[in-house]
Chains A and B, each alone.
Chain A
């Protein structure tokens, strides 16, 4: 009886409206703040894109539609050169970073827990925590010492710096994928006579591919975008697209920069979209 009355009592005193869950959308001014935020986020980009098609060489007055700045950008030998360098660097650095990150993710999830494991996470994710400018200065000094000792001034420094910088971005999605993967699948493979390598090759790796692809693309975008580190590490004649644009903007701002930035934006959007599609599928 006591149980029954306890169960029915709250129902009896319930003429009050039901307590609704906290919903931020009901707060006063929510709509205004949201609109302001979206305008601030996307209006500058929109203006940048619009003025890349401006016939007049101005960022303020519209002189009609034209593709002349795209033509100028394509015909600019320097732009082509730094674009290719940027893409090459992003490809190589994120490729190495993804390989290293995959091994690191396997080494931190598919092993018995060991002392210092949390510390290893922190060490791998260093670039996420240390300000980029600090890393940049440190690399500048460190690489300067190596340059003096060896005389080597090639792209190796940029590759090394970008790779280290990309590793955590590649590591996080791969590790997330490994952690949510059912470990009994690997046990089942071993049970069905697969050697540890065969189990990895036939079961773990195919299931890890979306994570690896996501990691690679994140790393690629991050490398393409890395301006601070590149600025500190690059030797003469090693400008990437972002550092080149920065250099140009210091002199005169023409809509040619808008055109380059718009193309850059389109490329990034393609990669991010592919990333979303890949992680959603099979996810």
Chain B
């Protein structure tokens, strides 16, 4: 993991945030413990209302934490205002100053820091080149497109060379094609500048493709922190598995378990190895939930494989086809097949068998 290689940039310990007082009090963040390494692309992922934006605003200094500590580059910043933190934000609506030109917007931070005009001009030129906006330097924000405004917002936040760049769903206002372009643009900018990025999104695909590590949040808590691979393949909780990607849930019985894995009995009686999340040690005979990703099951002839199912329907997605099944016992199951060969689509109503990939089963807590 990155935070063991690089020194920590942001250290958050037992941080909480309560809005309002008395009966109207609302706890937006609880017990946030988080360490983000220098130079990391870190994503806060969760549904709307999970507290990810509040956490970002606490890091930025727009909100003060109710309790706990927040250190940036080793310095406690809880209680300090946003203008006293080495952190800049790319706002969801960009928040470009409408009365200033593109160049003036980009130079604003350096101007407020009292830098010399020659230095400001040089940095603004450099930033304009970095985001390929040099030809529009004298335009007002209202005179450029949404994608261009996005670039200006990025350049403005990067110009003062902050230690940390906070990005609050910066791509959500862009159409799909522009968004894909900006995703790789962001990765390029991060690589070139070496600045720590903290990225907020509710888009799990965006989080998986861009991040070094992801923290999945729900109800003001961090449920799991890990690499995209860990989050996808080894979710610790049902919510995490459900939120990231398409997922099948299956109730199984534990036959025997050691520290990291368990033999479980599938509906229908077949045995299969399942991985256990850290801290979960079910005993033999316990009922647990396992997660199976749709691409980790394969169709085989009826009577073969470890599960038996009936085909309900197939949905064609171009690159692949989703086959909706009902397992014997009534549990719905979705399977994904790549359309690489001319595989015949299974007929609705036909019975099939399923095999599962070796590491397909992951036990999750409920």
A residues touching B (Cβ–Cβ < 8 Å)?
Answer: 182, 184-185, 187-195, 198, 202-203, 206-207
Contact in complex: A182, B83 (CB < 8 Å) = no
Contacts of A198 in B (CB 8 A): 112
Contact in complex: B62, A187 (CB < 8 Å) = yes
Smallest beta-carbon distance B3→chain A, Å: 25
5 contacts between A and B (CB under 8 A): A185-B95, A187-B89, A190-B81, A192-B88, A192-B112
CB-CB contacts below 8 Å: B73-106 with A: 81-83, 87-89, 91, 93, 95-99
Contact in complex: B99, A191 (CB < 8 Å) = no
Contact in complex: A192, B156 (CB < 8 Å) = yes
Smallest beta-carbon distance A105→chain B, Å: 19
* Assembled-state Cα–Cα distance A126/B85 (Å): 44
* Assembled-state Cα–Cα distance A154/B99 (Å): 43
| Contact of B108 with A by CB under 8 A | yes
Q: A184-B91, A198-B112 are in contact. Are A190 and B97 (CB under 8 A)?
A: no
Contact in complex: A207, B98 (CB < 8 Å) = yes
Smallest beta-carbon distance A278→chain B, Å: 14
| Contact of B334 with A by CB under 8 A | no
Contacts of A194 in B (CB 8 A): 83, 108, 112
Contacts of B89 in A (CB 8 A): 187-188, 191
Having A187-B82, A192-B109, A194-B108, one finds 7 other A-B pairs with CB under 8 Å, namely A184-B91, A188-B97, A189-B97, A190-B82, A192-B160, A194-B83, A195-B112
Contact partner, B112, options A182, A185, A193, Cβ 8 Å: A193
| Contact of B113 with A by CB under 8 A | yes
Contacts of A192 in B (CB 8 A): 83, 88, 108-109, 112, 156-157, 160
Smallest beta-carbon distance B234→chain A, Å: 36
| Contact of B60 with A by CB under 8 A | yes
* Assembled-state Cα–Cα distance A194/B156 (Å): 14
Smallest beta-carbon distance B281→chain A, Å: 46
* Assembled-state Cα–Cα distance A187/B203 (Å): 25
Contacts of A188 in B (CB 8 A): 89, 91, 95-97
Smallest beta-carbon distance B91→chain A, Å: 5
* Assembled-state Cα–Cα distance A214/B292 (Å): 65
Among A185, A190, A194, A203, max chain B CB count under 10 A is at: A190
Contact in complex: A193, B83 (CB < 8 Å) = yes
Contacts of A187 in B (CB 8 A): 62, 82, 89, 91, 95
Contacts of A191 in B (CB 8 A): 60-62, 82-83, 87-89, 157
What range describes how many residues of B lie at the interface? Answer: 20 to 34
* Assembled-state Cα–Cα distance A190/B160 (Å): 13
Smallest beta-carbon distance A13→chain B, Å: 36
CB-CB contacts below 8 Å: B209-264 with A: none
Instruction: Name which residue of chain A comes closest to B91, CB basis.
Output: A184
* Assembled-state Cα–Cα distance A222/B168 (Å): 46
Contacts of B87 in A (CB 8 A): 191
Smallest beta-carbon distance B124→chain A, Å: 13
Contacts of A184 in B (CB 8 A): 91, 93, 95
Instruction: Name which residue of chain B comes closest to A209, CB basis.
Output: B99
* Assembled-state Cα–Cα distance A202/B105 (Å): 11
Smallest beta-carbon distance B36→chain A, Å: 18
* Assembled-state Cα–Cα distance A193/B61 (Å): 11
CB-CB contacts below 8 Å: B130-188 with A: 156-157, 160
Contacts of B60 in A (CB 8 A): 191
Contact in complex: B108, A189 (CB < 8 Å) = yes
Contact in complex: A195, B83 (CB < 8 Å) = yes
Smallest beta-carbon distance B110→chain A, Å: 9
Smallest beta-carbon distance A179→chain B, Å: 16
Instruction: Name which residue of chain B comes closest to A185, CB basis.
Output: B95
Chain B, residues 317-330, CB within 8 Å of chain A (1/0): the string is 00000000000000
Smallest beta-carbon distance B170→chain A, Å: 13
Contact in complex: A182, B88 (CB < 8 Å) = no
Instruction: Name which residue of chain B comes closest to A203, CB basis.
Output: B97
Among B61, B96, B99, max chain A CB count under 10 A is at: B99
* Assembled-state Cα–Cα distance A189/B105 (Å): 10
* Assembled-state Cα–Cα distance A184/B91 (Å): 8
Contacts of A189 in B (CB 8 A): 97, 108, 112
Instruction: Name which residue of chain B comes closest to A188, CB basis.
Output: B95
Contacts of B96 in A (CB 8 A): 188
Instruction: Name which residue of chain A comes closest to B87, CB basis.
Output: A191
* Assembled-state Cα–Cα distance A191/B59 (Å): 11
Contacts of B88 in A (CB 8 A): 191-192
Which 4 pairs show the lowest CB-CB distances between chains A and B?
A192-B109, A188-B95, A184-B95, A193-B112
Instruction: Name which residue of chain A comes closest to B108, CB basis.
Output: A192
Smallest beta-carbon distance B181→chain A, Å: 24
Contact in complex: B113, A182 (CB < 8 Å) = no
Q: A192-B108, A198-B112 are in contact. Are A185 and B83 (CB under 8 A)?
A: no
CB-CB contacts below 8 Å: B42-87 with A: 60-62, 81-83, 87
* Assembled-state Cα–Cα distance A246/B109 (Å): 58
Smallest beta-carbon distance B344→chain A, Å: 31
Smallest beta-carbon distance A11→chain B, Å: 30
Smallest beta-carbon distance B193→chain A, Å: 17
Contacts of A190 in B (CB 8 A): 61-62, 81-83
Q: A182-B93, A184-B91 are in contact. Are A193 and B113 (CB under 8 A)?
A: yes
* Assembled-state Cα–Cα distance A191/B63 (Å): 12
* Assembled-state Cα–Cα distance A238/B98 (Å): 46
Smallest beta-carbon distance B173→chain A, Å: 13
Contacts of B156 in A (CB 8 A): 192
Contacts of B160 in A (CB 8 A): 192-193
Among A185, A193, A194, max chain B CB count under 10 A is at: A193
